[in-house]
């Protein structure tokens, strides 16, 4: 009546269900550790960047510092870098009105924001899927196993608990494994979805605040920042 013994005595369908649930559980835990690392890192980087941004540093200087990172720009830095780059380019275009400048800047930040959210939400649907279908897969294995156990009883004249118990036990293991795979996935998905929502709110607030700063610069007719020209030189 050990777990291994019940698995070996189970029917082929129930074995396949158990193996599938084990693989889904392994995938779930791998994604949980991966997403936790990425989301925690995103929150930390956003806090550090905003602290640097609001420290009074020159925006052109901050843009140059971020540009050095190349393809490693992420999070709030990505929004700032995309917005400031587009803002600087449009300010250098002749006969470009202020409304068009700000519209182009906001559009660039929206694209950056969308890409960042895609990166943060990646694989969350997999966790949600595992959490929702695992109990049903386990239940299917249980129903199949119990059905086979009762079919086998039809060939004997007198049924006893000793004859029924192994078949029912191996069938119920499938349900237990389904719950074991589903519960951590559901808990992790809810936690990560909430965390992504918080980060998304931070990104939106930063983009709005940064837009306000650039808007004031446009209204005051301040000289256009020129980090792009300096980099090309």
> Is residue 222's pLDDT more than 60?
no
Percent of the chain at pLDDT exceeding 90: 45
Quote the DSSP letter at residue 57: -
Q: What is the mean pLDDT of residues 186-199?
A: 95
**Does a structural domain hold residue 125?**
yes
Q: What is the mean pLDDT of residues 183-207?
A: 94
**What CA–CA distance (Å, rounded) separates 168 from 152?**
12
**Does a structural domain hold residue 52?**
yes
Q: What pLDDT does residue 233 have? A: 42
Token code pair at residue 106: 């906001």
Q: What would the pLDDT profile of 99-152 be if each residue is shown by its tens digit? A: 888 899 999 999 999 999 999 999 999 999 999 999 999 998 888 888 877 776
**Does a structural domain hold residue 233?**
no
Q: Which residues are within 8 A (CB) of 176 and not within 5 positions of it... i.e. 6 or more apart?
A: 138
**What phi and psi values does residue 221 have, to the nearest 5 degrees?**
55, 40
Token code pair at residue 194: 């909430």
CA dist 201 to 45, 92, 172, 197, Å?
15, 31, 44, 6
**Does a structural domain hold residue 231?**
no
**What CA–CA distance (Å, rounded) separates 233 from 220?**
28
Number of structural domains found in the chain = 1
**Does a structural domain hold residue 132?**
yes
Q: At what angle do helices 59-67 and 76-91 cross, to 10 degrees?
A: 120
> What domain range includes position 109?
3-225
**Does a structural domain hold residue 84?**
yes
């Amino acid at each position: 009546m050990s777990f291994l013994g019940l698995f070996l005595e189970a029917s082929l369908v129930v074995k396949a269900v158990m193996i599938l649930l084990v693989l889904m559980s392994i995938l779930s835990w791998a994604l949980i550790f991966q997403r936790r690392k990425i989301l925690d890192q995103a929150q930390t980087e956003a806090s550090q960047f905003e602290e640097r941004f609001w420290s009074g540093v020159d925006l052109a200087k901050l843009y140059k510092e971020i540009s050095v990172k190349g393809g490693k720009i992420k999070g709030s830095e990505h929004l700032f870098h995309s917005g400031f780059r587009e803002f600087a380019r449009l300010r250098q275009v002749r006969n470009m009105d202020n409304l068009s400048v700000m519209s182009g800047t906001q559009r660039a930040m929206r694209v950056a924001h969308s890409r960042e959210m895609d990166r943060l939400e990646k694989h969350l649907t997999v966790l949600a899927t595992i959490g929702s279908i695992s109990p049903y897969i386990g239940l299917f294995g249980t129903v199949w196993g119990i059905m086979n156990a009762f079919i086998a009883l039809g060939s004997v004249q007198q049924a006893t608990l000793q004859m029924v118990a192994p078949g029912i036990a191996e069938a119920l293991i499938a349900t237990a494994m389904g719950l074991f795979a589903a519960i951590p996935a559901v808990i992790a998905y809810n936690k990560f979805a909430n965390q992504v929502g918080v980060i998304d709110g931070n990104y939106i607030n930063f983009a709005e605040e940064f837009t306000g700063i650039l808007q004031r610069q446009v209204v005051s007719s301040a000289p256009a920042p020129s980090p792009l020209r300096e980099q090309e030189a």
